[in-house]
């Protein structure tokens, strides 16, 4: 029997403000015990060096599972203070290339926030099956989210929230999204955006507001598996929210960008290619005439814009210099 699509699970923790070793451990164990036949685990451990014993405890935790016949489990320690978008991308890069058996070996990258617990041993399998089946004959979703019980991004749209709770899978229209807590990102993102799945131009929140446009630029959509199939508990802000960027909270702040939000994301070109930004707040609505049945009429045109608008150039930020 052929194996399921190979997935890299990236568990993202930050010790900049708190030492949450007990909960990190409690959340990592059910990930390592997932009943899925083809996945590796990378722990993206940011700013934990200040807490004595944390690194050793994490290494002791994963040792029994490391280099098993079915999966690899490793830790990427990051000292620099960076947005989680970037640390997730960097950890994904390190585990997708040598010495870990070659380029583009994963079909998807599962982002798991430190405050989400995979209480269902079939969580990865359920999300993977949903993701790779996709919404229609075009194939997989660009990004698929698990439903979490708090701060899932649906609270402001009660009909949509009630539908997913009643057992209806969701497909998101342009300008709508979920909050990034547990989501499977397709390898098409990694391959098309310079070995990066997560748009990295944002200093704090607002990344989710462009997810539907990343998807549309790849001729794909966003989805959420219904709550009856999978609901995961979420402890809000376990490690703190955008802890390293408390003076840059909000959609108007970009990270390392040479241009302002208006100059980069809210331009005449953005409007002309059907792009939108932070639309739930009415910041920059997209032009709906660019879309037909949720798909962009010229995905390559949109992708060309997104590459320069939502992702940093190497001159702006060099991933190879991350410590």
- CATH, residue 157: 3.90.550.10
The reply to whether 216 falls in a domain is yes
Residue 32: what pLDDT? Answer: 95
47: in domain:
yes
Report pLDDT for 12.
97
Nearest in space to 199 (alpha carbons), one of 257, 249, 240, 148 = 257
Query: Rounded to an integer, what distance in angstroms lies between the CA atom of residue 199 and that of residue 189?
Result: 10
- Supply 177's token pair: 């999204």
Cβ 184 vs Cβ 110: under 8 Å: yes
Rounded-to-integer distance, Cα 302 and Cα 287, Å: 12
**Predicted model pTM:** 0.95
How many domains are there within the chain?
A: 1
- Sign of the dihedral defined by the CA atoms of residues 10, 15, 17, 22, in that order: positive
Coil, strand, or helix at residue 231?
A: strand
Q: Is the dihedral of CA 56, 60, 61, 66 positive or negative?
A: positive
pLDDT tens across 236-255, in order?
Answer: 889 777 555 556 557 889 99
pLDDT at 249: 59
Name residues of the chain where pLDDT drops below 50: 98-102
pLDDT at 100: 45
| Three-state DSSP class for residue 265 | helix
**What's the count of helices (H) and strands (E) in the chain, helices before strands?**
10, 12
Q: Which domain holds residue 14?
A: 7-321
Question: Does residue 2 lie in a domain region?
Answer: no
Non-local (6+) Cβ contacts of 187 within 8 A are 104, 106, 107, 108, 109
* Rounded alpha-carbon distances, angstroms, from residue 196 to 109, 214, 311: 10, 12, 9
Tell which residue, 203, 185, 188, has the closest CA to residue 244: 203
Establish if 1 belongs to a structural domain. Answer: no
Q: What is the pLDDT of residue 102?
A: 47
The closest alpha carbon to 224, from 182, 261, 280, belongs to 182
List all residues 6 or more positions away from 266 whose beta carbon is below 8 Å from its beta carbon. Answer: 277, 283, 284
- The closest alpha carbon to 128, from 190, 193, 183, belongs to 183
Q: What does the pLDDT read at residue 3? A: 87
In-domain check, residue 87: yes
What is the DSSP pairing of strand 231-232 with strand 147-148? parallel
């Amino acid at each position: 029997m052929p194996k399921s699509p190979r997935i890299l699970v990236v568990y993202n923790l930050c010790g900049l403000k708190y030492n949450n070793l007990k909960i990190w451990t409690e959340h990592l164990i059910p990930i390592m015990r997932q009943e899925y036949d083809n996945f590796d685990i990378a722990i993206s451990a940011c700013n934990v060096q200040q807490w004595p014993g944390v690194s050793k405890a994490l290494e002791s935790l994963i040792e029994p599972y490391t280099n098993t016949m079915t999966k690899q489990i490793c830790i990427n320690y990051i000292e620099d203070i960076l947005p989680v978008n970037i640390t997730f991308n960097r950890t994904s890069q390190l585990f997708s290339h040598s010495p870990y058996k070659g380029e583009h070996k994963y079909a998807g990258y599962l982002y798991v926030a430190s405050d989400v617990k995979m209480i269902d041993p079939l969580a990865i399998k359920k999300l993977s099956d949903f993701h790779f089946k996709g919404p229609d004959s075009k194939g997989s979703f660009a990004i698929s989210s698990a439903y979490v019980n708090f701060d899932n991004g649906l609270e402001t749209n009660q009909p949509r929230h009630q539908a997913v709770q009643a057992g209806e899978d969701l497909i998101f229209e342009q300008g709508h999204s979920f909050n990034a807590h547990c989501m499977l990102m397709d390898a098409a993102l990694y391959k098309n955006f310079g070995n990066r799945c997560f748009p990295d131009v944002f200093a704090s929140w607002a990344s989710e507001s462009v997810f539907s446009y990343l998807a549309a630029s790849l001729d794909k959509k966003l989805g959420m598996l219904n709550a009856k199939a999978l609901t995961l508990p979420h402890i809000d802000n376990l490690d703190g929210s955008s802890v390293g960027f408390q003076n840059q909270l909000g959609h108007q702040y970009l990270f390392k960008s040479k241009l302002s939000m208006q100059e980069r994301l809210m331009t005449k070109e953005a409007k002309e290619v059907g792009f939108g930004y932070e639309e739930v707040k009415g910041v920059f609505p997209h032009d709906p005439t660019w879309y037909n049945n949720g798909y962009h009429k010229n995905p390559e045109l949109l992708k060309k814009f997104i590459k320069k608008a939502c992702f940093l150039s190497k001159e702006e930020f060099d991933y190879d210099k991350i410590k």
